[in-house]
Amino acid sequence: MGASLNKVGVVGLGTMGAGIAEVLARSGLDVVGIEVGDEALKRGRGHLESSTGRAVKRGKLSAEEQQAILDRIELSTSFGALSDCDLVVEAVPEQLALKRRVFEQLDEVCRADAVLATNTSSLSVTEIAVSTNRPEQIVGVHFFNPAPVMKLVEIIHTVLTRPEALAVVQDLVERLGKVGVTIGDRAGFIANRLLFGYLNQAAAMYDSGHATREDIDAAMKATGLPMGPLTLMDLIGLDVSLEVCEAIYRETRDRRHAPAPILRQFVTAGLLGRKTGRGFYSYDRPAVPTAQAEAGAVEPPPRVGVVGSGPLAVALIRGCLRAGADVRFVAGDTEKAQAVAAALEQPVEGGTELALLAECDLIIEAVAEDTSVKRSLFAAVDDVAKPGAILATTATTVPVIELAAATDRPQDVVGLHLPDPEGELAEIATTVVTATEVARRATEYVTALGKHPVRCRDRAGFIVDALRVPYLGDAVRMLESGYADADAIDAAMRYGCGYPIGPIADLDRIGLGHAVEVLRALYTEHREPAYAPSALLEELFTAGRTFR
């Protein structure tokens, strides 16, 4: 049936519609583009000309090819021009009443066998479908911005959609060379449902003063994402972000989807992000320095002591050596100390006596993730460390304050979390008793050790895990609910949001045990049911299995 598709209409030639029209025409289809008036039509033509013009400039398209693409797109302000289209894609603004009006018009002018599709991001396709006389011919076709670049297209069927109508859209998406995932009609579909849960938490995190906007963005960017969450929301538009969160919340009633109050405040104040010059960031003023920029450099690097003998301890020692720091280590027993020494490329002073740490400026604990083990260790380190030394814990789920309270110098204790031990990012968590000067010096030390420090409060998950792991947990819930399979979920985040890895594959990579531990810690702290690890995650973890 896809082969018989010749002419496709696009209603609304804004950001998305113009991009969709371009993609269709590039694949050799005849396109009819509809706008609301002459001015809007002119703007639409402008979008098409400048987008294809950029491709010519970049050498991706010849001038002749550009002309051929533009010639294939007929522009009109009359819905009547859609009468012989096989398929029409609606891309007007995200308002249900407007979309329903457009579909009523389409219903009147389009052939009875024509398929009508909506590019809605968050509205119910079913609600749009039932306002027409052909609900079985209505499909969702959710392109991502910019449509010519982003590979993902979510194809949405309702409980009423005929398989033949769905096949028309599936064949088209394949013909366009896009990655199509077919799913049912749930608010946010796959990509936005998972993305906005995460974005909304980032907004709430900023609102709570947990970390600065720059540090939140820097931390998440360091995990390989194309941009930080607050920058992304400014780009999407805070009004759009608010709408999408509202739509998802209406369906899930999950408090984590209830728009963060700060979003509504920004929107009420007319601060909509990049398009109005101000949102989370001001685009007409210089950026506020990050924790890293504030820190400056300390020379020489601190003398570091590492306690532990696992892979994290070894990675820490290696990192210190690379930065030219004087480093020594303490392991639990002689055998472990020998194993650490053997794992290192150069000789390092080490052993089993904590007294080795007496002269260290920074002592980093990287022993087993067990509160009582860590507490006893902190009490013992407290006895040997010199006055003024900073004691840091790499604990991921034990509150820093628990360990600070085990010493007689709680003001000198910080959390130091490395989401990727080999990577650059280092999260420094301060407690309610950490001295300001200690926090500053810890940031300087970490910078001198070649890491990118970000600062946050002593809360479960710091920045990265608190934002990343619940998103991964949401992906498991989605999988468990039968809404989409692992491949579709991973494809949606990779090809729709530009993530380097899909959430299910990411869980296998970071380890299910780590995800379960973080979720339990977040649940214990917030008592929010949605944070609790889902049954499937717990089950796979207990079975020692992975998702793939």
Ligand X SMILES: NC(=O)c1ccc[n+]([C@@H]2O[C@H](COP(=O)([O-])OP(=O)(O)OC[C@H]3O[C@@H](n4cnc5c(N)ncnc54)[C@H](O)[C@@H]3O)[C@@H](O)[C@H]2O)c1
- Is 145 one of the annotated active-site residues of the chain? no
According to the binding rule CB under 6 A, does residue 50 interact with ligand X?
no
Q: Which among 5-13, 258-266, 267-275, 378-386 is the span making contact with ligand X, rule CB under 6 A?
A: 5-13
Q: Using alpha carbons only, what angle is made at residue 370 by residues 365 and 375, rounded to the nearest 5 degrees?
A: 60
Q: Give the residue from 136, 364, 383, 99 showing the smallest Cα distance to 247.
A: 99
Please identify which residue in 10, 75, 92, 156 interacts with ligand X, judged by CB under 6 A. Answer: 92
| Residue with smaller CB distance to ligand X, 243 or 365 | 243
| Residue with smaller CB distance to ligand X, 79 or 329 | 79
User: Rounded to the nearest whole angstrom, what is the least distance from the CB of residue 15 to ligand X in the complex?
Assistant: 4
| Residue with smaller CB distance to ligand X, 496 or 533 | 496
User: Rounded to the nearest whole angstrom, what is the least distance from the CB of residue 188 to ligand X in the complex?
Assistant: 11
Q: Which two tokens stand for residue 232?
A: 């992304």
Sign for the CA dihedral angle at 126, 127, 128, 131 comes to positive
Sign for the CA dihedral angle at 181, 183, 185, 189 comes to negative
| Residue with smaller CB distance to ligand X, 90 or 465 | 90
Omega before 135 within 30 of 0, i.e. cis: no
Please identify which residue in 1, 6, 15, 359 interacts with ligand X, judged by CB under 6 A. Answer: 15
- Whether residue 129 contacts residue 100, with contact meaning beta carbons closer than 8 Å, is answered with no
According to the binding rule CB under 6 A, does residue 12 interact with ligand X?
yes
Task: Return the residues of window 238-267 that contact ligand X according to CB under 6 A.
Answer: none
Q: Of the listed 22, 35, 90, 154, which one is catalytic?
A: 154
Task: Return the residues of window 16-35 that contact ligand X according to CB under 6 A.
Answer: 16-17, 34-35
User: Rounded to the nearest whole angstrom, what is the least distance from the CB of residue 20 to ligand X in the complex?
Assistant: 9
Please compute, for residue 474, the number of CA atoms within 13 A of its CA located in the half-sphere on the CB side: 25
Alpha helices, H only, 277-390: 291-295, 311-322, 334-343, 371-384
| Residue with smaller CB distance to ligand X, 38 or 345 | 38
| Residue with smaller CB distance to ligand X, 14 or 351 | 14
User: Rounded to the nearest whole angstrom, what is the least distance from the CB of residue 319 to ligand X in the complex?
Assistant: 39
Q: Identify the burial level of 222 via C-beta atoms within 10 angstroms of its C-beta, where 0-12 means exposed, 13-18 middle and 19 or more buried.
A: buried
Q: Which among 6-14, 498-506, 513-521, 527-535 is the span making contact with ligand X, rule CB under 6 A?
A: 6-14
Q: Give the residue from 372, 365, 358, 362 showing the smallest Cα distance to 332.
A: 365
The site for ligand X, by CB under 6 A, has a size of 22
- Is 257 one of the annotated active-site residues of the chain? no
- Is 142 one of the annotated active-site residues of the chain? yes
| Residue with smaller CB distance to ligand X, 226 or 388 | 226
Helix, strand or coil for residue 429? strand
Alpha helices, H only, 253-368: 261-268, 291-295, 311-322, 334-343
Q: Give the residue from 325, 312, 311, 304 showing the smallest Cα distance to 450.
A: 325
A 10 A CB-CB count for 67 gives 13
Report the residue closest to ligand X, judged by CB.
14
User: Rounded to the nearest whole angstrom, what is the least distance from the CB of residue 195 to ligand X in the complex?
Assistant: 11
Q: Which long-range contacts (CB under 8 A, 24 or more apart) does 368-377 make?
A: 368/310, 369/395, 369/396, 369/397, 369/398, 369/517, 370/398, 371/398, 371/402, 374/398, 374/402, 374/403, 375/402, 375/403, 375/406, 376/406, 377/307
Q: Which among 11-19, 206-214, 416-424, 452-460 is the span making contact with ligand X, rule CB under 6 A?
A: 11-19
Please identify which residue in 40, 298, 344, 501 interacts with ligand X, judged by CB under 6 A. Answer: 40
> The sheet that has 413-417: what strands, in order across it?
349-351, 327-330, 304-307, 362-365, 390-393, 413-417, 425-430, 452-457
CA 192 to chain CA centroid, Å, is 10
User: Rounded to the nearest whole angstrom, what is the least distance from the CB of residue 490 to ligand X in the complex?
Assistant: 20
d(Cα 260, Cα 266) in Å, to the nearest integer?
Answer: 10
Q: Of the listed 119, 124, 192, 309, which one is catalytic?
A: 192
Q: Identify the burial level of 483 via C-beta atoms within 10 angstroms of its C-beta, where 0-12 means exposed, 13-18 middle and 19 or more buried.
A: middle
Q: Which two tokens stand for residue 349?
A: 């002073």
d(Cα 27, Cα 15) in Å, to the nearest integer?
Answer: 19
Task: Return the residues of window 107-136 that contact ligand X according to CB under 6 A.
Answer: 119-121
User: Rounded to the nearest whole angstrom, what is the least distance from the CB of residue 102 to ligand X in the complex?
Assistant: 5
Q: Phi then psi for 83, rounded to 5 degrees?
A: -60, -30
Please identify which residue in 38, 57, 93, 284 interacts with ligand X, judged by CB under 6 A. Answer: 93
| Residue with smaller CB distance to ligand X, 35 or 361 | 35
- Whether residue 449 contacts residue 288, with contact meaning beta carbons closer than 8 Å, is answered with no
Please identify which residue in 14, 53, 332, 498 interacts with ligand X, judged by CB under 6 A. Answer: 14
- Is 251 one of the annotated active-site residues of the chain? no
Task: Return the residues of window 399-458 that contact ligand X according to CB under 6 A.
Answer: none
- Whether residue 438 contacts residue 412, with contact meaning beta carbons closer than 8 Å, is answered with yes
User: Rounded to the nearest whole angstrom, what is the least distance from the CB of residue 35 to ligand X in the complex?
Assistant: 5
> The sheet that has 30-34: what strands, in order across it?
73-76, 30-34, 7-11, 87-90, 115-118, 138-143, 152-156, 179-183
DSSP 346: S
d(Cα 278, Cα 414) in Å, to the nearest integer?
Answer: 34
Task: Return the residues of window 140-179 that contact ligand X according to CB under 6 A.
Answer: 143-145
Q: Which among 7-15, 106-114, 169-177, 276-284 is the span making contact with ligand X, rule CB under 6 A?
A: 7-15
Please identify which residue in 5, 11, 48, 230 interacts with ligand X, judged by CB under 6 A. Answer: 11
Q: Which among 12-20, 130-138, 329-337, 344-352 is the span making contact with ligand X, rule CB under 6 A?
A: 12-20
Task: Return the residues of window 326-355 that contact ligand X according to CB under 6 A.
Answer: none
Q: Of the listed 22, 122, 142, 427, which one is catalytic?
A: 142
Please identify which residue in 13, 233, 354, 456 interacts with ligand X, judged by CB under 6 A. Answer: 13
| Residue with smaller CB distance to ligand X, 276 or 371 | 276
| Residue with smaller CB distance to ligand X, 198 or 445 | 198
| Residue with smaller CB distance to ligand X, 143 or 329 | 143
Q: Of the listed 51, 121, 122, 124, which one is catalytic?
A: 121
Residues that bind ligand X (CB under 6 A): 11-17, 34-36, 40, 91-94, 102, 119-121, 143-145
Active-site positions read: 121, 142, 154, 192
